[in-house]
Chains A and B, each alone.
Chain A
Amino acid sequence: MKNLLISTAFLVGAFAAAPALAGDVLDDILSKDQLICLVNPNSPGFSVPDSEGIYQGFNTDFCRMAAAAILGDAGKADIRGIGFSDSMKTLVADGAHMASRSITATGTRDADPGLAFVATTFYDGQGFMVPKSLGVTSAADLNGATVCAEDGSTTLLNIADWFGDRGIEYRVENIADKTARLEAFFSGKCDVYASDVTALLSDRLLSEKPEAYTILPEVISAEPLTLVTQPDQALEAAVFWAFQVMINADQFGVTSKNVDSIVADLENQPKAVRRLFAEDSATAEMADKLGLPKDWAYRVIAQVGSYSEVFERHLGKETPFGIELKETANALTRDGGQMYAYPIR
């Protein structure tokens, strides 16, 4: 359904406004001294208003990242909660500069001239969870198994495709009620629970013995959740490389807590770190060309933090979600994930 909503939104938006010219959107942000960023109004962990009505969450922090990089102040992000299809229309109709709201990047969406997919902040995908006692290590061993999944969801389609392609027999339990679904899985009525990996990780915590369940290595669908901006080459570059600064920070162990001491002692840092923060560095040259504050990379890390910091703050071990970053595709490539630090030079 999401697919269709977004394409409909694009269709409507396409008539509403012509795409902006390169540079215009970034100029607009600078002249207004404010970056309008759209988020989901209620998505725990990703974007929810706190007790003072200010949006907090994983996705929200990438709005703040963009504001810190472009305007030098994360607080200048004007974060607005808005529904999925309305947010697309708003963006295309020039009512906002960017959106950070778990949008899956797909070919047909990106082919539309009204929007630009910039940087994937979260790699999700549909996976399988099984009790460890089953002794299964791969989804290929699931011949004859019973699979629990949410009724009406695209999960059902992905399962049918995946098992059908491999000629593996299975029985589906398409249960609409979440309590019934989880009880069915935890009691062993189903052998397997299929859902997005992030959902599996958080649902596992609802069991009395979370350690008794394991997530199989197969991820059968790709859901790259990606930042979207109005098309503008300069804005896209600014947002993409701001995100890369956060990934590079993880690669070289820079966080919001140690960034000040690292910058104060830059001569004794590895060359890659010097290139991030020094006055005559690659980031400073980029700032000149894109019209960003000279120390934008420092500001992003100091005000928002590195990627893993943002992840841990909203979704990590200390949060109710309890997701172990290194167990997901969002770990750095050196830890087996897909977050690849591009060279900033």
Chain B
Amino acid sequence: MIPPSAPPPQTTKLRALDLAVAAGLTALLLLAVVNIFLNMSAAGIAPGYGFLVQEAGFDVSESLIPYQPDDTYGRVILTGLVNTIFLAGVCLVLSTAIGVAVGLTSVGPSPLGRVLALGYVELFRNLPKLLVLLVLYVVAVNGLPHVRQAVSLGPVFLSNRSVNFPVPELDATALIPMAVLCAGLLFCVLRSRSRWRKGIVADWKERCLQFAVVLGLPVLCIPVFAVHVGVSVPELKGFDFKGGGRISLQFAIIALTLGLYHGAQIAEVVRGGLQAIPAGQTEAARALGLKRWQVIRLVILPQVVRIVIPPMNNQYVNLIKNTSIAIAVGYSDLMSVTGTIINQTFKPFEMMLITMGLYLGLCTFLTTVLNRFHRRLTERETR
């Protein structure tokens, strides 16, 4: 077999052409910046970021950090950013779970499963995501009951506004069992690692010990330190539920839309990765007596992960950027607060730079982490 021709070796030596291109690009960039500033000063607009400490004066649909309309613009940008990160995180997990499950099904033994997986992938990767979002939203607000007729599943209530559920009500005394829990987890992880290095296989006694340390000790703390344990249950009062936890309908719908949309694309990435593994690997693993699930878990998936990380990286970055469709159905993400701030302060240039910088930073952070992970995996393979 003739090996494929390798790309030319990478060097760090600059050539005349490189320098000319770099100089040209720098000149263009400078021209653009100077032009923008000249035009802005001609229109009487002074660029600046002083507005960030002014009062925002508008509310957001939901926020994970405390926020009031009389907080600053800087604070509302942070609120939008946190909302975007949270939404992206949930979508990332959801789309990966859907993608892996569908990807496995699409090459699985069941013909019905293969057809369903194919249908799902073709449907969701060929529809515009904004359309999917609006359809799901309109169907959900009309299909689900009004808040006064909310469906109750025990203490959990479902309406066309939100899912309301009980949450534990904790005060400062709850920090004690939490600290004990963290310490217990740390202890177990370190212990397992050192035992694993020594080649000791965990038996049931060891598992019981670790379980007791992780769960038993914190529970024991509750009566010992008289920890206050309460539950906040949602209750219909006035216009809406009070108390308990709440997931807004729009959040659930956006997460579902992006989960399904990117799930379809991730399924294709996973299918590609699975099909890149030679059939001989499965046959060899089966010949060694591994069960079907063990073959997948121990032989196939570790290799697939290496193959799919670069295309997944692409998917995840797209997913982060696609969370900006949330603005259509009223989830106060980064794009939503940016738009409102621009309308109020008329600082489009500054706000767009901030928003671009934040998305860029977020995506670059994720790609860097995934690339590092990928490098470690490939290094382990070549070792």
In Å, the complex CA distance between A144 and B243 comes to 12
Task: Give the Cβ gap from B220 to chain A, nearest Cβ, in Å.
Answer: 40
In Å, the complex CA distance between A154 and B341 comes to 10
In Å, the complex CA distance between A157 and B69 comes to 9
Among A1-54, those with CB < 8 Å from B are 1, 4-5, 8, 11-12
Of the candidate stretches B90-98, B188-196, B267-275, B323-331, the one touching chain A is B323-331
Among A144-172, those with CB < 8 Å from B are 144-146, 148, 151-154, 156-157, 159-161, 164, 170-172
B146 within 8 A of A: yes
B138 within 8 A of A: yes
Whether the Cβ atoms of A174 and B69 lie closer than 8 Å is no
B336 within 8 A of A: yes
Whether the Cβ atoms of A187 and B141 lie closer than 8 Å is yes
Whether the Cβ atoms of A188 and B343 lie closer than 8 Å is no
Instruction: Contacts A179-B138, A183-B142, A187-B160 given; indicate if A8 touches B45 (C-beta within 8 A).
Output: yes
Whether the Cβ atoms of B238 and A157 lie closer than 8 Å is no
Whether the Cβ atoms of B142 and A180 lie closer than 8 Å is no
A326 within 8 A of B: no
A173 within 8 A of B: yes
Whether the Cβ atoms of B240 and A146 lie closer than 8 Å is yes
A132 within 8 A of B: no
B44 within 8 A of A: yes
Chain A, residue nearest B137 (CB):
A180
Residues of A within 8 A of B237 (CB): 144
In Å, the complex CA distance between A134 and B342 comes to 35
A211 within 8 A of B: no
A310 within 8 A of B: no
In Å, the complex CA distance between A142 and B240 comes to 11
Of the candidate stretches B15-23, B58-66, B165-173, the one touching chain A is B58-66
Instruction: Contacts A180-B134, A180-B328 given; indicate if A174 touches B61 (C-beta within 8 A).
Output: yes
Whether the Cβ atoms of B330 and A151 lie closer than 8 Å is yes
A174 CB contact (under 8 Å) in B137, B336, B346: B336
Whether the Cβ atoms of B330 and A180 lie closer than 8 Å is yes
Whether the Cβ atoms of B43 and A12 lie closer than 8 Å is yes
Among B121-162, those with CB < 8 Å from A are 134, 137-138, 141-142, 146-147, 160-161
Among B27-70, those with CB < 8 Å from A are 43-45, 57-61, 69-70
A189 within 8 A of B: yes
Whether the Cβ atoms of A175 and B240 lie closer than 8 Å is no
In Å, the complex CA distance between A244 and B144 comes to 53
Whether the Cβ atoms of B160 and A189 lie closer than 8 Å is yes
Whether the Cβ atoms of A187 and B142 lie closer than 8 Å is yes
Question: By the criterion of a CB under 8 Å from any partner CB, how many residues of chain B are at the interface?
Answer: 38
A143 within 8 A of B: yes
Instruction: Contacts A171-B240, A189-B141 given; indicate if A160 touches B69 (C-beta within 8 A).
Output: yes
A177 within 8 A of B: yes
B340 within 8 A of A: yes
Whether the Cβ atoms of A173 and B59 lie closer than 8 Å is no
Whether the Cβ atoms of A174 and B142 lie closer than 8 Å is no
In Å, the complex CA distance between A176 and B335 comes to 11
Residues of B within 8 A of A152 (CB): 336, 339-340, 342-343
In Å, the complex CA distance between A157 and B237 comes to 27
In Å, the complex CA distance between A145 and B59 comes to 14
Instruction: Contacts A146-B161, A164-B69, A187-B141 given; indicate if A176 touches B61 (C-beta within 8 A).
Output: no
A191 within 8 A of B: yes
Task: Give the Cβ gap from B298 to chain A, nearest Cβ, in Å.
Answer: 47
A184 within 8 A of B: yes
Instruction: Contacts A143-B238, A174-B336, A187-B141 given; indicate if A179 touches B58 (C-beta within 8 A).
Output: no
1/0 per position for B222-242, CB-CB distance to A under 8 A? 000000000000000111101
In Å, the complex CA distance between A153 and B60 comes to 12
Residues of A within 8 A of B249 (CB): 189
B332 within 8 A of A: yes
Whether the Cβ atoms of B141 and A160 lie closer than 8 Å is no
Whether the Cβ atoms of A175 and B330 lie closer than 8 Å is yes
Whether the Cβ atoms of A180 and B239 lie closer than 8 Å is no
Residues of B within 8 A of A159 (CB): 59
B26 within 8 A of A: no
Instruction: Contacts A143-B238, A177-B328, A189-B249 given; indicate if A172 touches B161 (C-beta within 8 A).
Output: no
Among A174-211, those with CB < 8 Å from B are 174-177, 179-181, 183-184, 187-189, 191
CB-defined A-B contacts under 8 Å, sample of 21: A146-B161, A148-B330, A152-B342, A154-B343, A154-B344, A157-B57, A157-B344, A159-B59, A160-B57, A161-B57, A171-B240, A173-B250, A174-B61, A174-B330, A175-B328, A175-B330, A179-B134, A180-B138, A180-B329, A181-B330, A184-B141
Chain B residues engaging chain A, CB cutoff 8 angstroms: 43-45, 57-61, 69-70, 134, 137-138, 141-142, 146-147, 160-161, 237-240, 242, 249-250, 327-330, 332, 336, 339-340, 342-344, 346
| 3 closest residue pairs by CB, A with B | A175-B330, A160-B69, A4-B346
